[in-house]
C-alpha cells in the first residue's frame, strides 16, 4: 500500500510539473500572439509613413503566414533530427528578430521580408507546441490544442490593449514592435531554463496500442477535406485579423484605443478554445464544423452590415473569436492529427500549419484588393460569408469513424 501511494504521489508530482512547463510554453506563444494583433493596429501609421496602398498594407499584415506555410512541413523534418526544445527556441528567436527588424525597414520590400520571417519562426514554435500537446496529453488532444489557442487568445487581448497604450503617447509605431520583440527574447531564456526534455521530448503517443486507428497514409478522405477547409479558414480568419482593424479605423473612423478594445474582445472569445477543443473530442466533426462555419458566415455578415456602434462591434468580435478561433481553428488542428495514425501526427500538424497559413498569407491582400475596387461590404460578404458557407458544406463529407481514437 505504501509503495502504491508513493507511485501515485510521484505520478501526481510529474503531472503537476508537466502542466507547469506547458504553461511556460503557452506563455511564450502568447507573446507571439501580441505581435500578430499589434501590427494591424499600427497599420494606418505604417501606411502613412511609407505611402502604401490598402492592398499593400493588407499584404504586410498577413504575409507572415506565408513564412508559416513555407516552414510548416520543413519543421516536421527538423523535428526528426533535432530536439523539439531546440527547434522551438530557434523558432522564437527568428520570430523575435523579425519583429524588431521591422522597425528599421527602409521600405515595403525589406519590411515584407521581415514580416515573412516572423512567420517562419512562428511556424516552428506552433508546430512544436502541437506535437508536444499531442504526445503528452494523449487522451485530451483537442483540449490541449485548445489550450494552445487559449494562450493565443491571452496574447490577442493584451496585444491590442498594450499596443494602443504604447502607441498613444508619441504615435510612434516603433515602440510597441520593439517591446514585443524584446519580450520574445526574454521568453527564450525562461523556456531554456525551465522546460525539461522528459516533458518536451516524450513520445507516448506513438505506443503500439495507440497507433492502430486512423488512416495509415496522409492521402485520405478526411485529410484532403480538412486541408481544403484549412485553406478557406486561413482566408477567413486572417482576413479578419489582418484587415478588420483597418476597416474600423479608416471606414468607421474608430480611434486606435477603440479599435484595440474591439480586437481585444476577439481574443477574449478565443479564451473558450479549451471548451471548443472539448467539444471536438466529444462530438461528430461533421456536425461541429458545419455548424461552426455556418455561424461564421452569419457573424461575418453582421461585422460589416450590422450596427456601427462600438458596443455592437465589440460583442460581434467576441462572438467571432468564440466561434472562429475558439472552435474552428482548434478543431481543424485536432482533426488533422486524428485523421491519421499517431506515428504520422507530426506530419499531419505540418500539413495543418502549411495549409491554413499558406492561404492566410494572401488573406489581407485579397480583402484589401476587393475593398479597394468594390467596397468593404462586398469584401466581407465574399471573404467571410461565402467562403464560410463553402467550408461548411465540405465539413459534411467528414467521416468520424475513420479517425483515430
Per-residue pLDDT tens for 192-234?
999 888 888 876 544 444 555 777 888 899 999 999 999 999 9
Q: Which of 7-11, 53-57, 394-398 has the lowest mean pLDDT?
A: 7-11
Per-residue pLDDT tens for 286-311?
999 999 999 999 999 999 998 888 99
Q: How far apart are CA 273 and CA 322, in angstroms?
A: 8
Q: Average the pLDDT over 55-70 and give the result.
A: 82
Q: Which residue has the cell 482576413?
A: 239
Q: How far apart are CA 133 and CA 21, in angstroms?
A: 12
pLDDT of residue 7: 36
pLDDT of residue 113: 92
Q: Work out the burial of residue 379: count CB atoms within 10 Å of its CB; fewer than 13 is exposed, 13-18 middle, 19 or more buried.
A: buried
What band does 82 get if pLDDT is binned at 50, 70 and 90? confident
Chain center to CA of 268 = 14
Instruction: Tell me the HSE value of 100 on the side-chain side, using a 13 A CA sphere.
Output: 13
Q: How far apart are CA 244 and CA 25, in angstroms?
A: 29
Question: Rounded to 10 degrees, what is the CA torsion of 296, 302, 305, 311?
Answer: -140
Map out the domains of the chain as residue ranges.
13-402
For 225-249, b where at least 16 C-beta lie within 10 A, e where not — what string?
A: bbbbbbbbbbbbbbbbbbbbbbbbb
Asked whether the predicted pLDDT for residue 6 surpasses 70, the reply is no
Q: How far apart are CA 363 and CA 216, in angstroms?
A: 33
Cell of 126: 506552433
Cell of 334: 485536432
Per-residue pLDDT tens for 129-164?
878 887 777 666 667 777 887 888 788 778 877 887
DSSP state of 215: B
pLDDT of residue 70: 82
What band does 72 get if pLDDT is binned at 50, 70 and 90? low
Q: Are 387 and 240 in contact (CB under 8 A)?
A: no
Domain over 13-402 is classified CATH 1.20.1250.20: yes
Asked whether the predicted pLDDT for residue 186 surpasses 80, the reply is yes
Asked whether the predicted pLDDT for residue 8 surpasses 60, the reply is no
Per-residue pLDDT tens for 239-280?
998 889 889 988 998 987 888 888 878 878 877 777 887 888
114 or 76: whose pLDDT is higher? 114
pLDDT of residue 5: 41
Asked whether the predicted pLDDT for residue 339 surpasses 80, the reply is yes
Q: Work out the burial of residue 59: count CB atoms within 10 Å of its CB; fewer than 13 is exposed, 13-18 middle, 19 or more buried.
A: buried
What lies within 8 Å, CB to CB, of 229 at 6+ separation is: 289, 293, 332, 391, 394, 395
pLDDT of residue 11: 58
Q: How far apart are CA 42 and CA 249, in angstroms?
A: 10
Q: Work out the burial of residue 15: count CB atoms within 10 Å of its CB; fewer than 13 is exposed, 13-18 middle, 19 or more buried.
A: exposed
Asked whether the predicted pLDDT for residue 26 surpasses 60, the reply is yes
Per DSSP, helices labelled H in 82-204 are 84-101, 108-136, 141-167, 174-194, 197-200
| Whole-structure pTM value | 0.75
Amino acid at each position: 500500500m505504501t509503495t502504491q501511494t508513493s507511485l501515485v504521489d510521484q505520478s501526481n508530482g510529474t503531472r503537476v510539473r508537466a502542466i507547469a512547463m506547458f504553461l511556460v510554453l503557452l506563455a511564450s506563444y502568447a507573446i507571439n500572439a501580441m505581435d500578430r494583433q499589434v501590427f494591424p493596429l499600427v497599420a494606418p501609421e505604417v501606411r502613412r509613413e511609407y505611402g502604401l496602398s490598402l492592398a499593400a498594407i493588407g499584404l504586410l499584415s498577413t504575409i507572415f503566414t506565408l513564412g508559416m506555410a513555407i516552414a510548416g512541413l520543413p519543421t516536421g523534418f527538423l523535428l526528426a533530427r533535432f530536439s523539439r526544445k531546440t527547434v522551438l527556441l530557434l523558432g522564437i528567436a527568428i520570430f523575435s528578430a523579425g519583429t524588431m527588424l521591422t522597425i528599421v525597414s527602409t521600405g515595403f520590400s525589406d519590411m515584407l521580408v521581415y514580416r515573412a520571417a516572423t512567420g517562419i519562426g512562428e511556424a516552428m514554435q506552433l508546430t512544436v507546441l502541437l506535437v508536444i500537446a499531442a504526445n503528452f496529453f494523449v487522451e485530451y488532444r483537442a483540449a490541449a490544442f485548445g489550450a494552445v489557442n487559449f494562450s493565443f487568445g491571452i496574447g490577442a487581448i493584451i496585444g491590442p490593449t498594450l499596443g494602443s497604450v504604447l502607441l498613444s503617447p508619441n504615435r510612434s509605431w516603433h515602440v510597441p514592435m520593439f517591446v514585443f520583440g524584446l519580450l520574445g527574447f526574454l521568453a527564450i531564456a525562461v523556456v531554456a531554463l525551465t522546460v525539461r526534455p522528459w516533458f518536451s521530448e516524450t513520445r507516448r503517443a506513438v505506443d503500439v496500442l495507440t497507433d492502430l486507428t486512423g488512416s495509415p497514409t496522409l492521402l485520405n478522405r478526411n485529410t484532403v477535406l480538412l486541408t481544403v477547409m484549412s485553406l478557406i479558414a486561413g482566408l477567413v480568419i486572417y482576413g479578419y485579423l489582418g484587415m478588420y482593424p483597418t476597416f474600423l479605423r479608416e471606414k468607421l473612423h474608430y480611434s486606435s484605443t477603440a479599435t484595440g478594445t474591439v480586437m481585444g474582445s476577439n481574443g477574449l472569445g478565443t479564451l473558450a478554445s479549451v471548451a471548443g477543443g472539448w467539444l471536438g473530442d466529444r462530438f461528430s466533426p461533421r456536425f461541429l464544423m458545419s455548424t461552426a462555419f455556418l455561424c461564421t458566415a452569419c457573424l461575418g455578415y453582421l461585422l460589416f452590415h450590422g450596427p456601427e456602434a462600438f458596443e455592437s462591434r465589440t460583442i460581434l468580435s467576441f462572438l467571432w473569436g468564440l466561434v472562429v478561433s475558439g472552435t474552428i481553428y482548434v478543431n481543424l488542428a485536432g482533426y488533422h492529427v486524428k485523421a491519421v495514425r499517431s506515428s504520422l501526427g507530426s506530419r499531419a500538424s505540418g500539413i495543418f500549419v502549411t495549409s491554413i497559413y499558406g492561404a492566410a498569407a494572401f488573406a489581407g491582400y485579397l480583402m484589401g484588393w476587393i475593398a479597394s475596387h468594390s467596397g468593404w461590404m462586398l469584401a466581407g460578404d465574399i471573404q467571410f460569408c461565402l467562403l464560410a458557407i463553402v467550408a461548411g458544406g465540405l465539413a459534411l463529407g467528414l467521416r468520424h469513424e475513420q479517425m483515430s481514437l
